[in-house]
Amino acid sequence: MPIQQSFRKKIFYYFIFVFIIFTVAILLFQLNREKQYKTAQLENTLENVAEITHNYIEHYQLLGNDNFRKADTLKSLIPKKNIRITVIDKKGAVLYDSFVDEFGAMGNHLQRPEIQKALYSESGSNIRHSETTKQDFYYYARNYNTYFVRTAMVYDIEAKNFLKANRFFIFFIIAIFLIIWLIINEVTKRLSLSITKLKDFAIKAGKNKPIDSNIDFPDNELGEIGAQIVKIYTKLQKAKDNIAQEKERLFNHMNILNEGISFFKPHREKMLANSHFIQFVSIISDTSTISAEHVFNIPEFKKVNDFLNENLSDKSEFQSNHLPQIEFTINKNERYFKVLCIIFADKSFEILITDITRPEKRRLLKQQLTSNIAHELKTPLASIKGYIETLMRTPDIDREKQHYFIERAYAQTERLNLLLNDISLLNNIEDAGELFEIKLVKIRKTVADAIENFSARLSEKNIKYKLNIGDDVVVNGNDSLLSSVFQNLIENSIKYAGAHIKIEISNYLEDKKFHYFSYSDTGVGIPEEHLSRIFERFYRIDAGRTREMGGTGLGLSIVKNAILLHKGKISVHNKTGGGIEFLFTLSKK
Ligand code: ADP
């Protein structure tokens, strides 16, 4: 793998570099020590030779009698042959030189560095290239009372020679180098394996690629670190995935809610809002908006703003089991919205808007209905109470009158019974429609039965009827409810339309889904201004008169609700020739 190699190569180069520097430093140090040692040795030899020469000159009293040639015998006395001996007088003139035959012709030597040094401090030395012999020489001079003795030797302390002499040392260094390299190689191999795997992992993680959580790291500290990192990363990744999933679930859930919901950060910045929230904010503000934060600019939400201002200050603190919340209702354009705002412990908050138009309208309707029912029940109850009280107060009332009162009271109980039946029927249609068994109904028979029930009253009022429904017309519905529909319509004609009229019931059209029916009479009809309201509960055109007729004001309500339960529709109009006509549909399936 290239990464692994480059890593190991680098370590190798670093190692070689450090090793070479180290080796060279040791060699230089050794060389220097060697030089110092050899120089000291050299100087010692030269000093001895100078001393011997001095003693020789003194012993043979060579000075002053021009007999210096005799000094050549000195050469044989000295163990080393290549030592040059020069005797120089105090003025610098050469008195003798063992290497030069014509020493008398040699130049003045007073300015030679070793002589200069010896002049002031008894002895001096200097290394220099000799033009005469073309070699480096180590010169040593010693100051005696009347002359200088200078001795010199070839100076050949070179690194080359030193290295040659230290061959063993070099081999030793190379061997150590190889051994250390082998060890380093093994160590880096292990380290680089961990590093390589960690690097592979890091690259993959950086690119969000899938990661094998079971990467096999080598059994060392770096490997352990790697394994831990991968473990932590995998855990984090899992947690991240879970959060993303939860968030998506929450978001999906929020979007199928019927409520509008939005979460905000403490500074009223939106975090999450569902589409219903935006929709409701638009309806309430009467402007189309796509921003949930727009809610804070709507006058209807002033209470929310005030509530937030009060509770979101830096000072306010609250526990999670006692979160501040506000709830109120907004009524806008015939629609009702319940608004709930809750502030959480971290000062983020939630606004929940629920469309309560339907339940609210229902509630108002129910309220009205209850008071209507109470009112309707009061009248017959009051008369019953009146009759019974009269009977109780006047026990000696004659039998005929007694009978009359009892009969009237009974009639009122009948009326109560009728009223309660109608109320309960309506309630059942509205709230428990599923209780009515739905099956295929041959509608002609249902209508014919209803007419049959009223046959006496029909002929009493001289009302004719015509039934235009085929035997095979079948609708999908509840037999008894459908029967109620036709009974109510027929009874209304008998009660309100007048005598000598004609009723016509026909099935005038059908399509894929519906049968279309018409119910009409040729009676007095209904004044136009009342038409739009006659399906309302307890709505009567002439309350006093209808009550007398035994009407509860619920008949047409029952008709309409029963047809709605059958997924049909109903409308009413006055016919041009007089009389009323109801048009309605009933579903086939
Ligand atoms: P009820 O149950 O008291 O008969 P309905 O709801 O059936 O009440 O009828 C409401 C009103 O419509 C009645 O008070 C009556 O005045 C009027 N009405 C209903 N049917 C007819 C009709 N065929 N001809 C004239 N008026 C009618």
- The rounded Å distance from CA 534 to ligand 1 centre is 7
pLDDT given for residue 1 in this prediction = 47
Summarize pLDDT for 122-153 with one digit per residue, the tens. Answer: 899 998 887 766 778 889 999 998 899 999 88
Select the more confidently predicted residue: 201 or 532.
532
Yes or no: domain 257-355 corresponds to CATH 3.30.450.20 = yes
- The rounded Å distance from CA 450 to ligand 1 centre is 18
Q: Which residues of 264-283 are buried (b: 16+ CB within 10 A; e: fewer)?
A: beeeeeeeebbebbbebbeb
Is pLDDT at 509 greater than 90 in this prediction? yes
Yes or no: domain 2-163 corresponds to CATH 3.30.450.20 = yes
Q: Domain ranges in the chain?
A: 2-163, 168-242, 257-355, 367-429, 436-587
Cβ-contact 519, 489 below 8 angstroms: yes
Cβ-contact 341, 307 below 8 angstroms: yes
Please name which of 273, 334, 262 lies closest in space to residue 304, comparing C-alpha atoms.
262
DSSP 52: H
Tokens of 305: 């703003």
- The rounded Å distance from CA 571 to ligand 1 centre is 14
* Minimal-distance CA residue to ligand 1 atom 11: 540
Share of the chain above pLDDT 70, in %: 95
Between CA 184 and CA 221 the distance in angstroms is: 17
- The rounded Å distance from CA 568 to ligand 1 centre is 21
pLDDT given for residue 12 in this prediction = 76
* Minimal-distance CA residue to ligand 1 atom 10: 540
Summarize pLDDT for 431-460 with one digit per residue, the tens. Answer: 888 889 999 999 999 999 999 999 999 999
Q: Which of 501, 505, 534 to mutate to test the pocket of ligand 1 (most atoms within 8 A of CB)?
A: 534
Please name which of 361, 367, 307, 301 lies closest in space to residue 329, comparing C-alpha atoms.
301
Q: Which residues of 448-486 are buried (b: 16+ CB within 10 A; e: fewer)?
A: eebbeebeeebeebebebeeebeeebbbebbbebbbbbb
pLDDT given for residue 37 in this prediction = 86
Between CA 264 and CA 185 the distance in angstroms is: 59
What is the pairing mode between strands 123-130 and 135-143?
antiparallel
Spell out the residues 6+ positions from residue 352 whose beta carbon is closer than 8 angstroms to its own: 259, 260, 261, 339, 340, 341, 342
Q: What is the 3-state secondary structure (H, E, C) of 282-351?
A: HHHHCCCCCCHHHHHHCHHHHHHHHHHHHHCCCCCCCCCCCCCEEEEEEEECCEEEEEEEEECCCCCEEE
- In the chain, count of helices (H) and strands (E)? 16, 17
Select the more confidently predicted residue: 352 or 35.
352
Q: Which of 422, 425, 501, 526 to mutate to test the pocket of ligand 1 (most atoms within 8 A of CB)?
A: 526
CATH of domain 367-429: 1.10.287.130
- The rounded Å distance from CA 492 to ligand 1 centre is 5
- The rounded Å distance from CA 424 to ligand 1 centre is 19
pLDDT given for residue 162 in this prediction = 62
Tokens of 15: 């190692």
pLDDT given for residue 580 in this prediction = 96
Q: Which of 419, 556, 560, 563 to mutate to test the pocket of ligand 1 (most atoms within 8 A of CB)?
A: 556
Select the more confidently predicted residue: 271 or 2.
271
Cβ-contact 508, 475 below 8 angstroms: no
Same fold, 2-163 and 257-355: yes
**What is the second-level CATH architecture of the domain 436-587?**
2-Layer Sandwich (3.30)
Cβ-contact 306, 341 below 8 angstroms: no
What is the band of 3 on the pLDDT scale with cuts at 50, 70, 90? Answer: low
* Minimal-distance CA residue to ligand 1 atom 13: 540
- The rounded Å distance from CA 381 to ligand 1 centre is 23
Please name which of 49, 46, 53 lies closest in space to residue 147, comparing C-alpha atoms.
53
Is pLDDT at 116 greater than 70 in this prediction? yes
Averaged over 285-292, what is the pLDDT?
86
Please name which of 350, 354, 339 lies closest in space to residue 300, comparing C-alpha atoms.
339
What is the band of 2 on the pLDDT scale with cuts at 50, 70, 90? Answer: low
Please give all residues whose beta carbon lies within 6 A of any atom in ligand 1, as ranges: 488, 492-493, 496-497, 521, 523-526, 534, 540-541, 546, 551-557, 580
Between CA 31 and CA 49 the distance in angstroms is: 27
Mean pLDDT rounded to a whole number for the chain: 87
Select the more confidently predicted residue: 551 or 435.
435
pLDDT given for residue 160 in this prediction = 63
Residue appearing with tokens 């809002």: 273
What is the widest separation between alpha-carbon atoms in the chain? 204
Kindly give the number of the ligand 1 atom that is closest to the alpha carbon of 547: 3
Q: Is 498 left (phi over 0), alpha (psi -120 to 50) or beta?
A: left
Summarize pLDDT for 40-80 with one digit per residue, the tens. Answer: 888 898 999 999 999 988 888 777 666 677 778 888 877 77
User: Which ranges of 108-220 would DSSP assign to H, the alpha helix?
Assistant: 113-121, 159-165, 167-206
What is the band of 161 on the pLDDT scale with cuts at 50, 70, 90? Answer: low
**Cα 280–296–324 angle (5° rounding)?**
95
Output the pTM of the full model: 0.52
pLDDT given for residue 40 in this prediction = 87
- The rounded Å distance from CA 489 to ligand 1 centre is 8
What is the band of 546 on the pLDDT scale with cuts at 50, 70, 90? Answer: low
- The rounded Å distance from CA 382 to ligand 1 centre is 24
* Minimal-distance CA residue to ligand 1 atom 16: 541
Averaged over 417-424, what is the pLDDT?
90
What is the band of 281 on the pLDDT scale with cuts at 50, 70, 90? Answer: very high
Is pLDDT at 564 greater than 90 in this prediction? yes
Averaged over 238-261, what is the pLDDT?
90
Spell out the residues 6+ positions from residue 57 whose beta carbon is closer than 8 angstroms to its own: 63, 71, 87, 147, 149
Q: Which of 490, 492, 572 to mutate to test the pocket of ligand 1 (most atoms within 8 A of CB)?
A: 492
Q: Which of 496, 529, 552 to mutate to test the pocket of ligand 1 (most atoms within 8 A of CB)?
A: 496
Averaged over 294-306, what is the pLDDT?
93
Summarize pLDDT for 200-243 with one digit per residue, the tens. Answer: 888 888 888 877 777 788 787 878 888 888 889 889 989 999 99
User: Which ranges of 61-165 would DSSP assign to H, the alpha helix?
Assistant: 72-77, 113-121, 159-165
Between CA 433 and CA 143 the distance in angstroms is: 143
- The rounded Å distance from CA 496 to ligand 1 centre is 6
pLDDT given for residue 531 in this prediction = 93
Please report, in angstroms and rounded to a whole number, the separation of the first and last CA atoms in the chain. Answer: 75
Chain centre distance of CA 191: 36
